[in-house]
Amino acid sequence: MKIVQYGHPALERVAIPVKLPLPDEDKDLIKGMMRILSKRSKSSAGLAAPQVGVSKRVCIVRRFDLEDNDSIPIWDILINPKILEKSDTLSVEWEGCLSINNGELWGEVARPDFVKVEYYDESGNIHKVEAFGFQAHVYQHEIDHLDGILFLRYISDPSKLYTTEEMLKKISKKNSE
């Protein structure tokens, strides 16, 4: 299993819902996605099934809101997630994507600052979670993948896309002002 890149058809389609209880092939899909994330945990906020070429409504979201600075990553597996509520208030956060230039291209994206998300876990239990700020961006970014939407859609000017090095310089400069 590998991460597919921009232009792959699975990244442009609306993913199909997953049946519950999970069939073995979907359990294997989740295990494979977790293996990818465990290798890239320092640089990843999540992964959606279309990013590994599978058009199913499964994504994994890193719970930055539950981690402390020294903690190992905490991941939530979202099956058939949907956004129930969004705020009118927007926040701007840096976003990148493992399926765009291998995660080495970034842009500032404005999204609702709050979302309420409903999803099923691997056991078929339903959950609702509220997220704010950067965590809200993470949920929206991964759910967008399930709807065939890449963060590039929110960047109106391609000159506002930056390499990782350029982005880190911009952040450093902003923080020193």
Task: Establish whether 127 is an annotated binding residue.
Answer: no
Domains and CATH numbers, the chain: 9-176 (3.90.45.10)
Task: Establish whether 145 is an annotated binding residue.
Answer: yes
**How many angstroms separate the CA atoms of 133 and 45, rounded?**
14
Q: How is the beta sheet containing 162-163 ordered, strand by strand?
A: 90-96, 105-112, 162-163
Tokens of 31: 């295990």
Catalytic machinery residues: 142
In contact, 106 and 95? CB cutoff 8 Å: yes
pLDDT by position in tens, the chain (length 177): 999 999 999 999 999 999 999 999 999 999 999 999 998 877 799 999 999 999 999 999 999 888 876 667 899 999 999 999 999 999 999 999 999 999 999 999 999 999 999 999 999 999 999 999 999 999 999 999 999 999 999 998 989 999 999 999 988 888 887
In contact, 77 and 125? CB cutoff 8 Å: no
Q: Is 80 helix (H, G, I), strand (E, B) or coil?
A: strand
Tokens of 43: 């640089």
